[in-house]
């Protein structure tokens, strides 16, 4: 079932176009990397603040609110530029364990970011004890592992 | 220059690094993660200067509080980038995007020093306010464009077949 879905994606005329068009993949990969930098920065500034580093003179919830839309829109850009790459190399992705680890951790990361991390980052400071530090470290760990698995798909698959 | 690259290419440690199964994936992965740390933080500093985000954060807070982290990322990035070059110098010698990336990094560095030693000296006058001087905004835009171009040329280094025609005509690799 899953394999046939990936075979279907690989067989799409869009996937063939992506592979045949010389500049399509490089341009999309470059855009994906620029979006990654924007996403990483938005996440990091808040995560560092959660663990008591970085912009500590700025209230945490103010920082989190201001960078929220940058984080969301850069993630949207990551998805929009990542999907064509998955479509055009669907079977390579399907057989790569790193792709599946990346996808699983992205789901965990999104759930974590929009539930626990959001609640902690938007809460009144000083009311949650050590939890902000734990949440900050977990968030950095989750998103770092996503970029590690992503890089390894291309290198070791 | 070519003889220097060839000399490094023939060094036993360069060959050992090149032939190691794990070295290249490890170095490249650490290179990408450290790029996220460095470029991610610098991007939001630049966007603060341009006035796109973090408008309530005093400008002087960012270099003080975020630059040590950004510089740590940059240091790791330089080390891993240097090792990648050391392991395969002849792969990069005739690569247009490699030289473009190096040139862009130099220009980005000049822009950073220019901003630090000229425009930033008057930061106390515009630190808290929302009105950033035009010179500082310009430095922010130039920095954003340059570092984005560094990221793009870095990615393009993998596409040896997509060099500009005029570069191929120089026949540097021959």
Q: What tens digit of pLDDT does each residue of A60-85 get? A: 999 999 999 999 999 999 999 999 99
Nearest residue in B to A37, CA atom? B40
One-letter-per-residue 3-state SS of chain A: CHHHHHHHHHHCHHHHHHHHCCCHHHHHHHHHHHHHHHHHHHHHHHHHHHCCCCCCCCCHHHHHHHHHHHHHHHHHHHHHHHHHHHHHCHHHHHCCHHHHHHHHHHHHHHHHHHHHHHHHHHCCCCCCCCHHHHHHHHHHHHHHHHHHHHHHHHHHC
What is the average per-residue pLDDT within A104-108? Answer: 97
Distance from A104 to chain B by nearest Cα, in Å? 19
pLDDT of residue B129: 67
Mean pLDDT, rounded, for B77-99: 95
- Mean pLDDT, residues B73-101: 96
Query: Can you read off the two tokens belonging to residue B169?
Result: 């005509």
- Whether residue A30 and residue B151 make contact (CB cut-off 8 A), yes or no, is yes
ipTM for the predicted complex:
0.92
Q: Does A144 touch chain B (CB under 8 A)?
A: yes
How high is the mean pLDDT of chain B?
93
Q: Do B66 and A67 touch (CB under 8 A)?
A: no
**Is residue B130 over pLDDT 70?**
no
The residue with tokens 């596409």 is B159
User: Is the pLDDT reported for residue A109 higher than 70?
Assistant: yes
Distances (CA, A) of A119 to A125, A137, B11: 11, 15, 54
What's the CA gap between B131 and B128, in Å, rounded? 9
Q: Which domain holds residue A8?
A: 2-156
In this complex, is the C-beta atom of A151 within 8 Å of any C-beta atom belonging to chain B? yes
Residue percentage of chain A with pLDDT more than 90: 91
Q: Do A156 and B155 touch (CB under 8 A)?
A: no
For residue A108, the distance in angstroms to the closest alpha carbon of chain B comes to 19
Interchain pair A152, B25: CB under 8 A: yes
* A–B CB contacts, 8 A cutoff, strictly below: 101
Of A29, A30, A41, the CB nearest to B44: A41
Measuring CA to CA, how many Å separate A93 from each of A3, A107, B89?
11, 17, 30
What are the tens digits of pLDDT across the range B16-70?
Answer: 999 999 999 999 999 999 999 999 999 999 999 999 999 889 999 999 999 999 9
A143-152 pLDDT, tens digit per residue, is 999 999 999 9
Mean pLDDT rounded to a whole number for chain A: 94
The closest CB to that of A151, out of B32, B54, B58, belongs to B32
Domain count, chain A: 1
What tokens appear for B135 in the block? 């010179």
Closest CA–CA distance from residue B151 to any residue of chain A (Å): 7
Residue in B28, B33, B40 nearest the CB of A41:
B40
Q: Spell out the residues 6+ positions from residue B35 whose beta carbon is closer than 8 angstroms to its own.
A: A37, B73, B77, B151, B154
- To the nearest whole angstrom, how far is the Cα of A152 from the nearest Cα of chain B? 7
| Interface residue of B34, B43, B146 to substitute, partner A, most A CBs within 10 Å | B43
Q: Which residues of B touch A54 (CB under 8 A)?
A: 65-66, 69
pLDDT at B128: 78
Residue of B nearest to A63 (CA): B54
The per-residue pLDDT for range A2-26, each reduced to its tens digit, is 899 999 999 999 999 999 999 999 9
């Amino acid at each position: 079932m899953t394999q046939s879905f990936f075979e279907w994606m690989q067989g799409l005329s869009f996937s063939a176009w992506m592979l045949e068009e010389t500049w399509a993949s490089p341009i999309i990969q470059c855009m994906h990397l620029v979006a990654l930098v924007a996403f990483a920065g938005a996440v990091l500034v808040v995560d560092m603040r959660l663990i008591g580093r970085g912009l500590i003179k700025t209230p945490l919830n103010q920082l989190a609110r201001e960078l929220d839309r940058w984080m969301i829109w850069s993630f949207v850009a990551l998805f929009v530029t990542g999907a064509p790459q998955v479509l055009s190399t669907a079977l390579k992705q399907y057989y790569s364990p790193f792709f599946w680890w990346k996808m699983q951790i992205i789901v965990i990361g999104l759930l974590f970011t929009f539930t626990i991390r959001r609640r902690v980052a938007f809460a009144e400071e000083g009311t949650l004890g050590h939890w902000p530090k734990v949440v900050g470290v977990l968030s950095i760990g989750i998103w770092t592992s996503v970029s590690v698995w992503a890089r390894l798909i291309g290198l070791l698959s | 220059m070519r003889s220097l690259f060839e000399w490094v290419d023939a060094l036993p440690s360069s060959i050992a690094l090149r032939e190691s199964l794990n070295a290249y994936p490890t170095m490249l992965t650490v290179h990408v993660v450290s790029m996220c740390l460095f470029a991610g933080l610098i991007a939001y500093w630049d966007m603060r200067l341009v006035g796109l985000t973090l408008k309530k954060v005093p400008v002087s807070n960012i270099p003080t509080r975020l630059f040590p982290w950004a510089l740590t990322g940059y240091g790791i990035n330089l080390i891993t980038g240097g090792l990648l070059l050391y392991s395969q110098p002849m792969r990069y010698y005739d690569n247009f995007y490699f030289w473009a990336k190096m040139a862009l990094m130099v220009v980005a560095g000049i822009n950073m020093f220019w901003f630090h030693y000229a425009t930033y000296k008057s930061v106390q006058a515009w630190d808290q306010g929302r009105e950033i001087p035009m010179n500082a905004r310009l430095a922010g835009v130039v920095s954003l464009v340059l570092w984005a171009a560094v990221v793009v040329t870095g990615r393009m280094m993998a596409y040896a077949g997509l060099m500009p025609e005029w570069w191929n005509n120089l026949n540097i690799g021959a």
